[in-house]
Structure 1
Amino acid sequence: MRVGLTPNQLSLLSLISGVVAAIFYAKTYPAGGAAFLLISSILDLLDGDVARRIGHSSDFGAAIDWIIDKYIDAFVIIGIALGGVDARIALFALFGSFINTFIKPVVYAEIGYRSRVSGKINDPIEAVGFFGRPETIITILLFSFIHLNIGLAIIAVMTHLSAIQRIAYLYKHYRVS
């Protein structure tokens, strides 16, 4: 089935769905938030795959995908906070989400990873860190039906632990002996 959407249009639809999810969370409708976050996540999975399949992969597409992902993460976590979750937990979760992701482009810039395999940057840091964006999304989806305060607390702790794991990896492999 061909829909006729470009990969960048799929990314934009992912962003729009993420904003709608944030609005639902802010209005204290977590089921609606979860539904639109799931749609956003599916679209996010599709955009890069479609780009690679049709030969439209680009540096812009790869970069904008990361940027849109972080906008969605921020909007959703802010929406959850506006819906009544403890803002301190939400801020710590948001910071953990951002710092855990931020490590990768810093590594790319400072260490110089650039080679690609199947359209993705081939770097050892990709496999380091046990709690990234997919785990964050799954946690939000699951705890939308349990208790979002607990879900964001889990995200806050786990993203920071994952960032520490990445920093330890960098120290072990790239420090001057």
Structure 2
Amino acid sequence: MTLDQLRPVANRLLAPWVRGAKAVGATPNSVSVVAFLLAVGAGVAFYVATPLAYGAGAVLVFLNGWLDLLDGALARELGTDSEAGDLLDHVLDRYADVVVVAGLAAGIARFDLGLAAVTGVLLTSYLGTQAEAVGLDRVYGGLLGRADRLALVGVTGAVSVSVSSVGGYSPVAYLLGLFAVVGHLTAVQRFVSAWRQLA
């Protein structure tokens, strides 16, 4: 089970945030842009890689994830959800994923793990939307969805505030290794699911 399956619960919790966003005149696209800027801030914090920076990065990642839910909920509330908005949201999400993973990898100088992790992350997301492109429902499931990744990044950032090494490796190194392995497995899982529906 992934955190993406908890979207209905998150949508209920978002109600006051949606009302607040409407009250200040925010648009779904502006929320998407702010969410992306928070991800950039997180990536920079993870690159700095000090205990304080890891704590800041963890907070920024959680805020990015929350605003990523808010933009869609706000669009539905305002009746302005559109293909253009969906495209913008997905493009900014992918860039956010790249910036955060790159920051994590650069902070511990493990670009090999970073490359393996970011390709797993991107292919997971690609397979999720590619299913929709061929006429199926968008796939959010699998071993490690975006909500799971954001939660793990946030938790790892929080842990890294006080723990610099476990068994000789940084908590961030373990996280990147997890993203590398489980990310590709999730992409394959999504591919197999879509293939079976189409075959």
With normalisation by structure 2, the TM-score equals 0.77
After superposition, the CA RMSD in angstroms is 1.6
2:40 to 19, 31, 34: 19
| Structure with greater helix percent | 2
Is it true that 1:135 corresponds to 2:145 in the alignment? no
- Which deviations, in whole Å up to 9, do the C-alpha atoms of 1:1-37 show, x marking residues without a partner? 3222111110110011111111111111211111111
Tell me, which stretches of 5 or more residues in structure 1 are unaligned? 114-122
Segments of 5+ residues of structure 2 without an aligned counterpart are: 1-19, 161-170
For 1:88, which of 112, 117, 122 is the aligned residue? 112
Alignment check: 8 A CA contact 1:77 1:90 kept: yes
Percent identity, please. 28
CA distance in 2: counterparts of 1:92 and 1:9, whole angstroms: 31
Higher relative contact order (CA 8 A, sep 6+): 2
User: Does structure 1 residue 157 correspond to structure 2 residue 170?
Assistant: no
4+ aligned runs moved over 4 Å, structure 1: none
How many residue pairs match? The answer is 164
- Match of 2:142, SS? coil
Instruction: Within 5 Å, give how 1:1-177 maps onto structure 2.
Output: 1=20, 2-28=23-49, 29-109=53-133, 111-113=134-136, 123=137, 126=139, 128-144=141-157, 145-146=159-160, 147-175=171-199
Return the offset for 1:76. 0.5
Distance in 2 (CA, whole Å) between partners of 1:130 and 1:13 is 28
1:82 & 1:161 partners in 2: Cα distance? Answer: 24
